[in-house]
Amino acid sequence: MFKKTALAVLFSVVLTVMLGTSAFAAEEGISPEIAEALAEIEEVNTEIYAEIAEAQAEADALYTEYLSEYAEETDAEKRTALTAEYDLKVNALIHKLDVKTQEMTRAGVAKATAAGVNVEVVWIPVQFADRVAMIDPIHVIDW
């Protein structure tokens, strides 16, 4: 019984040392270029999230205005026209954001790759008033 406990403790200590050593080695292996690239990726993602927040606020305002006008309107044709106009505005807003964030992501990925950082584009769902769209921040894989 004592042998099993001692073996389990020894195994745990060895495993902890192995995992801890690789983590410390990874932190020490960051060159200034990699650190700068990681900072730039974080900056790009921060800008993307700021653009998303701005577009979400604008979409919410459009949706609130649409609901107010829709509730006041009794004519079915005018309600249909209001819905079509709202859809056009929100879709244009989301498309504009999508194009802008894709360009930001493309530039960020190019800089990160040039610095030796492996990244991928991760599409995340973002809520815009009454709909969801996929937007693409950068995700670091390794360096």
Residue 59 CA to residue 20 CA, distance in Å, equals 47
Residue 5 CA to residue 48 CA, distance in Å, equals 52
φ, ψ of residue 129 in degrees (nearest 5): 50, -105
Q: Which residues lie closer than 8 Å to 48 by C-beta, 6 or more apart?
A: 101, 104, 105, 135, 136, 137
What pLDDT does residue 94 have? 97
Q: Is the pLDDT of residue 85 over 70?
A: yes
Q: 10 Å Cβ neighbour count for 85?
A: 13
DSSP for 69-128 reads HHHH---HHHHHHHHHHHHHHHHHHHHHHHHHHHHHHHHHHHHHHHTT-EEEE--EEEEE
Does the global pTM surpass 0.85?
no
Q: Write the pLDDT tens digit of every residue in 10-34.
A: 445 444 555 554 444 455 568 888 8
Mean pLDDT of all residues in 44-53: 96
